[in-house]
Structure 1
């Protein structure tokens, strides 16, 4: 199998369309949860693009005690987030908006809970720890607040005018909260936000919970991720450098090479200007939402490929290697389906289906029917009526009669013997072998789908074969010309024989009446009446024997022709009821691989 060649750049619209098509084609073939997630990504992307693309939703995520709420207050210049050391401290997401006109539908989609009391720092107080403390007592003089959403001007949080325009900053609940609802809220918002800022601390930056549950599975999202090591003021400069190097190593192992890593201190303000500058550049770019959606599409496409291959998910996430790139195993799954040789598979099926359909019985009946009708048409006139008393082999099978063939086709089943258990077993084996040959080289889920497709019309197969045999023109309706010639010759010979018989009877009558005999011509020493009688009988037998020989040869010829016609009809049934569904399934897989390859394109 050959790998599909990727295009160098695919638009987000094309990738979303590819993912939607791949999910539709995979429905009923791959794991339902994976297909549902792919459809959810398409739906979520459609909603996100319909909302404000001028806003960038940045979420601060981290564990209890990492200092993300303090960082949120410093960046926003508010006291909206409660800072503490108890678990959990942050129980619901908080939002701070900079010049947030038009962001309402976006925040409604994010389902940020509304609160009745919001504190915010005075924009004139600047930023830093002092601003946080002063903000707690400056609710009245703070910016306009809408429920739990603090709407800020450009100044609060130490941002230069216009730098934070369009920024929506979220403080998420603790991902390690003892409350299940808090963890579920984190999982929900992590799927929706445009840019993720993971806030870690020196004590738990290597915690497996955050690496295995979030960072590693989000390797595709490294373009919309920032990692912050907070509380570096608790370390010596050398210790802080060692921690940052070790954290960088862990991130590289998670497939997050190149993800920005910043060391900050919410107590001293170290690293905050650099973090603001990084966030400001992402907000100004106005492309984080598209990058996020592209990463979601890639992850969902990787999951489809992994589910299609049936292999275990690598550590880097669905269809991912540790480097965050599609690994060889999962990438090899997205291949073109093998071209199916329908002629070869049809031949494989036709033999078994022909036997199950009673084709050998019909072929033999065609030969016997030809001989039967030939004898009835060319036999000795005195005895041919006896032949007509015998049943016609084809009529016994209800073939070639008006009982089966009406003006619009067959009107009843034939009388061919029912399929035996042995014939049915051979037919099932042939179907299974054909499906196996057609699905050779396909991933297990798609090979199983091909096998199901081959049997999808199993209930119709026997009736379809019977109809095919009943409607096939066997070529027995046309009477050969020589039948009429031989039949006419038999009547002539019979007339000659009858003339001889009458002549002899006349002579016997004259002898009985003692009348003088007329002149009796002879042929040599044999009288003509005797010659006519004996000659008529002998010629009649010779014509009958010759006709039987010709009928045997003609029966074989018609049987061969009928066999070809019947095999062609059975072949058509095999293609329609077995191979056509198989071919459609292979085409479906081929379209799936093409669509999922487009969806996995690395260019957002």
Structure 2
């Protein structure tokens, strides 16, 4: 707001002295009061108040009345308009005026400019933006796995970060907090240079937060704190104070230990929104358990935006004040608050007296450097993200290797293969191949005897009656046990919510697994057609036939000699019969030896087919859903590492075997 003034010395106009004589202290005093009331209207009405004061002064018809009214009304109007850029930010301009009541500073015309000053929004640096983006992605990926209360704080941090980013980046909001009687309102007034916040022996004295801004453009920040216009103030204006603390928005909070619940709610709400906080303690309550346990210890990660001020040191001797200050530092160190000593980042600890002004200059200087850096808001948001990451640690971080190893996958496949009887099927296939080989390469007399035995003995005499119901129940139990085992192995080491999600995925996949395995066992375990025959089978059959022919020829020859059809010669027919009788079993024995390898290979192939079928079914129904949950956890864990600011996964163990076939290691440790 700019003001264009036309100075006229109304005090030198004729008739002023006569007017004062006619109405000593009456009409003029009333007009002065009306001018002051009009000049103190809130939020940009200072120019209008000046005009009303001028009109009220001239309405009396006396030159002296006009001069006196203009003197009071215009002083407030000019004081409000002299600030750079205008005071159009919702603040009440209450300042101490050095102009005497009788001195005339008339304003002929005031021009109002109601446009709000241009304020640059807050800008976060690259690492902080990356962490906020990762936190937003983390919350989105976790909504279906975690309850809303677990993610509430992270969501609030994102909301507050977005809200703060839209507001002024040239201002730093600092709250003054403390216990009853610590002198925080006195310190607030000492920094402002004027009695703004009420002080006194009545407790609690501060009933509502009061804001004081050293420059324009902070209306949005104060609106965010919920402080109404009637509780917004201006400090005592001086070139030195404006240059030193320009950009500071100071908020005086009620007592954090107030008996009024509403006061404590004000403190908790505003402490979550300000950029920094000045904790004011006194020699009597600096070790108060409520302060340390409820506020300082939980906000230990906000040390870089924390000031701890030991007030009322004027009540202590010098040595005692140093001892109390050292003990305060010890307590802060026990709370986990890093102290900004020797140039290291951390909390600032000072000792002062707001009553005598001792140490106020040092606090002003420290606050001036702190505000001039324009980094408190980003540091506060970064500390909030750190706090949210610490609270989310139990639901995202795993301390040991988690996931499915190759051994666990093989064990699961073996359990399913046992459930469907893959080994037994392979052995049965091997026996079938051997049986076919014996039938093809055995002696005719042995095959005839076996045929006779098959005809005489009933089928139930050789085959055991299988209890199919018992076998089916046993197989189902084996499948369920295999699923439970692989689910426990996959979820071991994971945080509780993600371990539960892995187990639920395994249970869902196991539904209908037994029936699917039965179909696969029938389809993959039954050989298609007759078993294959090796190339030496025809030669073995011919050899066995030759041995049989020799036996028959020798027997007929011997018979012909016995009945006299041929001359006696026992040597040749007996030799032929012996060769046939001994050669037939020999050929059969040799065929059995030769059939061992092909029979084993045939049985192993049948077992392999059934194992692969069972393994594929288990992978599709159980392992793949489990791997999907592990992949989701891997994603959120990587986002959590970004939120925590951890590079390379330090301190967090990885997830292995999250794919369906080979198992991809994701070790972050």
**TM-score, structure 2 length as denominator?**
0.58
Corresponding residue for residue 363 of structure 2: 275
The CA deviation at 1:24 is: 5.3
Partner SS state of residue 156, structure 1: coil
The CA deviation at 1:596 is: 3.6
Q: Distance between the aligned counterparts of 1:71 and 1:451, measured in 2?
A: 57
The CA deviation at 1:424 is: 4.4
State the structure with bigger RCO (CA 8 A, min sep 6), 1 or 2: 1
Partner SS state of residue 59, structure 1: strand
The CA deviation at 1:459 is: 2.1
- The equivalent position to 2:152 in structure 1, one of 12, 33, 36, is 36
The CA deviation at 1:230 is: 2.0
- The equivalent position to 2:418 in structure 1, one of 355, 366, 371, is 355
Corresponding residue for residue 262 of structure 1: 350
Check 1:68–1:420 CA distance in 2 against 1; reply closer, same or farther (3 A cut): same
Check 1:458–1:186 CA distance in 2 against 1; reply closer, same or farther (3 A cut): farther
Give the number of the structure whose alpha-carbon radius of gyration is greater.
2
Partner SS state of residue 366, structure 2: helix
Corresponding residue for residue 478 of structure 2: 423
Q: Does 1:16 align with 2:97?
A: no
Q: Does 1:459 align with 2:459?
A: no
Q: 574-583 or 237-246: which moved more? A: 574-583
Corresponding residue for residue 89 of structure 2: none
Whether the aligned pair in 2 keeps the contact of 1:374 and 1:547 (CA below 8 Å) is: yes
Q: CA RMSD in A?
A: 5.4
Corresponding residue for residue 189 of structure 2: 73
Q: Distance between the aligned counterparts of 2:475 and 2:271, measured in 1?
A: 62
Corresponding residue for residue 496 of structure 1: none
Whether the aligned pair in 2 keeps the contact of 1:18 and 1:595 (CA below 8 Å) is: yes
The 5-angstrom pairing of residues 131-530 of structure 1 reads 148-150=231-233, 152=234, 155-156=236-237, 160-254=241-335, 255-258=337-340, 259-305=347-393, 307-308=394-395, 338=401, 342-360=405-423, 362-363=425-426, 366=429, 417=472, 419-420=474-475, 422-424=477-479, 426-428=481-483, 430-431=485-486, 434-435=489-490, 439=492, 442=493, 445=496, 448-449=499-500, 452=503, 455-456=506-507, 457-466=509-518, 468-469=520-521, 472=524, 476-477=528-529
Corresponding residue for residue 141 of structure 1: none
Check 1:544–1:246 CA distance in 2 against 1; reply closer, same or farther (3 A cut): closer
The CA deviation at 1:75 is: 2.6
Q: Distance between the aligned counterparts of 2:439 and 2:126, measured in 1?
A: 77
The CA deviation at 1:221 is: 0.8
Corresponding residue for residue 569 of structure 1: 613
Whether the aligned pair in 2 keeps the contact of 1:228 and 1:261 (CA below 8 Å) is: yes
Q: Distance between the aligned counterparts of 2:126 and 2:515, measured in 1?
A: 49
**TM-score, structure 1 length as denominator?**
0.64
Q: Distance between the aligned counterparts of 1:100 and 1:473, measured in 2?
A: 85
Q: Distance between the aligned counterparts of 2:208 and 2:516, measured in 1?
A: 64
Q: Distance between the aligned counterparts of 2:300 and 2:332, measured in 1?
A: 9
Q: Distance between the aligned counterparts of 1:194 and 1:577, measured in 2?
A: 52
Q: Aligned pairs, how many?
A: 491
Whether the aligned pair in 2 keeps the contact of 1:202 and 1:232 (CA below 8 Å) is: yes
1:514-556 deviations in Å (ceiling 9; x for gaps): xxxxxxxxxx9xxxxxxxxxxxxxxxx9999999999998665
Q: Which runs of 5+ in 2 are unaligned?
A: 1-124, 341-346, 460-465, 547-568, 570-584, 648-669
Partner SS state of residue 241, structure 2: coil
